[in-house]
Structure 1
């Protein structure tokens, strides 16, 4: 207990320090989020990933909290995903390459001895989905970090209940590192996560949840995993359905996420983050209680029904502007609308009659 508190405290302070330290180099090197009106440096996620790995490795080196082979493999795979995200922050990387690299890393950490090959494949898909869901949440100040803290605590409780102490320590360190990072990421943010941090967070949380539920009933495990990541899944579903209905490319960014739509309803950035964090906590709480057997499995269905109601309700909010018309080729007459109002018709008749 004491070394867990000490590790979390060290992670919080180190992450806060690295977030402040990396801000100026990110600005000078041009590693910024160009989608925003103001330049936002993106090396905060690098600080979170470094903090998590360094603190856990230091405690193992000191012999205080030795790690098992599964946790080492998880940290190596998560580090590889974070490195891939860092490359995406520095230069453009196609989404299919990010997804492929994440899938390969997930295939290295899924416990096939308990899940089997047949269930291991859906587990890989779950890890990839949640990882990219956290990457998609990194469009608003403090959103991905806050949801990450809530989810890390929930999955950590489930891991502790399964006597997976090393995994619980890793998740507590991650939650503390994110808390330190949030000191600089709350609106108005001074530094952002970037693909490096968001992919690292999503991968660690999704992989940890899969490892925690390995060996349990597959259907019940799917329900618990969904409840733990209900907000992320709802955001992915909302974006996918919205872009499909609008005929827009699925992988092209647009202001159509949960936070964007809540902002259109008049909520402030801080209120939007707090509201979504509360919704995420509700799903995580149901997932934890279901995992520990303190709540019936029907609670997961209520989480799914609530998420569906939210998605259907927010779909009614218009977020896409008018589509741009293609340029008219040179020499081709410009087509105009033939429908005229009665006022326009009378005006044309007066001009013709002199």
Structure 2
């Protein structure tokens, strides 16, 4: 009952704040202008992450017991830091190194002080225990990489929010049945907050979450996924639902940002470009070229994400040596198939679209007045 009230509180606060936030941001001219890599039309206010982060924090402070607050205190602190970092970046652009520095501090808080990290390789490649220095390094790097990977998919109406909702729902359920109530409630609270935001962010979007929202959500997803992988990998079968392939399960949860980042980095490198160069080669950009609407692309990607989570349950008794290759091969096959379908669709659209010169000629003809020849001859005779 408390969990439901916490979810509803986050939803209600976010739902009430967002319309006011839209008006305030428009008056302050804090808007996202179209053009460049932007694929939206019109001037849309950004920084919408304020609404669901504020809703989530108020809900946590209202419904969490002291023991639950202590349980997630380091995650909550780092989450707040990421929110402020994203807010600063949305209001005043900061350099990439400054952004990475802030993310590094937040990651160190949860890894070093919160002890949320990969404590083992869980038998993958025959490795179990790993040195603490390696554990800290891998965990911090993974948090920063996943946070920025999630930030990269925030380029379409409703996409980042919808993907996060699916993953947070799974994490909330898993932590609940594993007895980690504080983390479970926090995941569910974020679901309520993000859904309230999606009401206004669904296509056509009235507001974007900006780095204020995407960095906060990406960080929370990265940290809680690492906690899920480590807790699942070290738990006994009787302690809850145990997935025999903890690393593969973590990959499946965040398959969309992971695959998208690997895909664009590979393509840019093969073309001789910097992997960090901005362009329109993300999955959602590619699917938009098929002629799909924002909502159609979002629903398709969410279904793909849900499919991989379903694979976790189907292969719950398989180990990482088996499930990691299956997930990797399946992701590559789906990606290549999507590329083929998209290219075929783009070529078809190109064939059916008249050339630009032809369109210009049509416009010229349409702009000329259509005068009846008989009337013109009478006018000429009268003038003579």
Bin for the TM-score computed over the shorter chain = 0.7 to 0.9
The farther-off stretch of 252-261 and 273-282 is 252-261
CA shift, 1:97, in A, is: 2.1
Deviations 1:131-161 (A, max 9, x none): 1122111110000000010010112222123
Question: Does the alignment pair 1:95 with 2:96?
Answer: yes
**Which of 149, 157, 164 is the equivalent residue of 1:133?**
149
Contact 2:163 2:305 survives alignment (8 Å): yes
Alignment gaps of 5+ in structure 1: 319-354
Please state if 1:47 is matched with 2:51: yes
Q: CA deviation at 1:285?
A: 3.1
How far off is 1:187 after superposition? 0.4
1:239/1:70 Cα in 2 relative to 1: closer, same or farther (>3 Å)? farther
Is 2:334 the partner of 1:310? yes
Q: Distance in 2 between matches of 1:250 and 1:92?
A: 21
Regions of 4+ moved over 6 Å = none
- Residue 192 of structure 2 corresponds to residue 193 of structure 1: no
Cα distance, 1:179–1:94 mapped onto 2, change above 3 Å: same
Residue of 146, 151, 166 corresponding to 1:150: 166
- Report the CA distance between 1:96 and its aligned residue: 2.7
Aligned length: 312
User: Runs of 5+ in structure 2 lacking a partner?
Assistant: 120-131, 235-243, 344-384
> In 1, distance between residues paired with 2:267 and 2:79?
31
- Whole-Å Cα distance in 2 between the matches of residues 196 and 74 of structure 1? 17
TM-score, normalised to structure 2's length? Answer: 0.75
Report deviation, 1:286. 3.2
In the alignment, the residues of structure 1 paired with residue 305 and residue 333 of structure 2 have an alpha-carbon distance, to the nearest angstrom, of 15
Q: Does 1:222 align with 2:238?
A: no
CA distance in structure 2 between the aligned counterparts of 1:112 and 1:10, rounded to whole angstroms: 27
Q: Deviations over 1:79-118 (max 9, x none)?
A: 1011101111112222232222112211211226872332
Q: Does 1:23 align with 2:37?
A: no
After superposition, residues 1-354 of structure 1 pair within 5 angstroms as 2-34=1-33, 35=38, 36-60=40-64, 63=65, 66-110=67-111, 111=115, 115=119, 116-215=132-231, 217=233, 220-287=245-312, 293=316, 297=320, 298-313=322-337
Greater gyration radius? 2
Contact persistence 1:134–1:198 (CA under 8 A): yes
Q: How far off its partner does 1:6 sit?
A: 0.9
CA–CA distance in structure 1, aligned partners of residues 301 and 118 of structure 2: 34
Indicate if the aligned counterparts of 1:11 and 1:177 stay in contact, CA closer than 8 A. yes
Which stretch has the larger CA shift, 189-198 or 293-302?
Answer: 293-302
CA distance in 1, matches of 2:11, 2:200: 12
* Secondary structure, counterpart of 2:72 in structure 1: helix
> With structure 1 as the length reference, what TM-score do the two structures score?
0.81
